[in-house]
Chain A
């Protein structure tokens, strides 16, 4: 089974797309936030691999072609951002203050909770870059001496949480302004959250893209300082 799957250049893509469309169907039927198509597709693929005994490495051989598109897709986020540039100029003070507070809040929360849970320094710095985009987060974690595989896992879980919870959290905290919504989603849950922000609207999507870049860079600068605190 593993050999057949590993020999295919398409299996991983096909099963992922199939899982996603089943997710879309379930979402359309139930209209529940928890029935998020991304979450459902991940679970479907995991179950299929477990049940059939296909190894992740075999699925990954063809599945990686989907991941390959992630870099050009992230570059493409410049286009909606460019179209909303006037909004960025008009609100730049609120946007900067919001994003700096967000990055500080992220690292401060991790610091406080790590102290409370008495985590080791290694585990603490592993968690520090959890809110930013995977590629930057990996670099930060590695530089600070964290466990990169756990950092990646935590970043992905954070993104999925943000993607699934975005609507409820914005409603709960009465974040109604589309610019603020986009910033909140991008700052907390990077590109995976941005995928949801894009579905909410053009402004949300553009601001979320902006937040990925700015929060990522702020965390690169801030994390080495925070790493010294505990």
Chain B
């Protein structure tokens, strides 16, 4: 029963997300509302992590398979895709690589910069502290 109870909680949150998607006039799907609601419920402690963890891990584990039916649907979209195939394919490949490289490099650079800055201020603070202690000793 443990798994079904956990799955039930996940589905209940998903369901609230679906309702929000219906009620609000934004192009945001129920799954995204659900993800944010689940995160808030975990942070506020309304849902404890052990109450959803096992079923969530199972769903995430099999997630790649869930894309198969939609991807096989490319067979049907082929007719519409064919006339614009070359530019569309080129743009798709190029922008996927660009976005991955830009997001990764920029976030990595900013995080490293900030890490260096904080360690620098840490070093300055500890150096000053050491100096002050030396002065204290002198006195």
Q: A and B: real partners?
A: yes
Residues of A within 8 A of B (CB): 12, 16-17, 19-20, 37-38, 41-42, 45-46, 49-50, 56, 59-60, 63-64, 66-67, 69-83, 85, 91, 93-95, 97-99, 101-102, 105-106, 109-110, 113-114, 117, 119, 123, 127, 130-131, 133-136, 138-140, 142-143, 147, 149-150, 152-154, 156-163, 165-166, 169-170, 172-173, 175-177, 179-181, 183-185, 187-189, 191-192, 194-196, 198, 205, 209, 211-213, 216-217, 220
Q: How far is the CA of A72 from the CA of B63 in the complex (A)?
A: 10
**Number of B interface residues in the complex (CB < 8 A):** 77
Q: Are B87 and A117 in contact (CB under 8 A)?
A: yes
Q: A75-B10, A154-B92 are in contact. List 17 more A-B contacts (CB 8 A).
A: A12-B69, A16-B65, A56-B75, A70-B31, A72-B7, A72-B11, A79-B49, A98-B108, A101-B103, A123-B88, A136-B29, A157-B74, A160-B71, A175-B108, A177-B108, A184-B99, A195-B64
Q: Are A117 and B36 in contact (CB under 8 A)?
A: no
Q: Are B74 and A156 in contact (CB under 8 A)?
A: yes
Mostly, the B contact residues are helix
Q: Which residues of B contact A184 (CB under 8 A)?
A: 99-101, 103-104, 107
CB within 8 A of A149: which of B66, B77, B91, B111? Answer: B77
Mostly, the A contact residues are helix
Q: Are A153 and B81 in contact (CB under 8 A)?
A: yes
Residues of B within 8 A of A (CB): 7, 10-11, 13-14, 17-18, 26-32, 34-39, 42-43, 49, 52-53, 55-57, 59-77, 80-81, 84, 87-112, 114
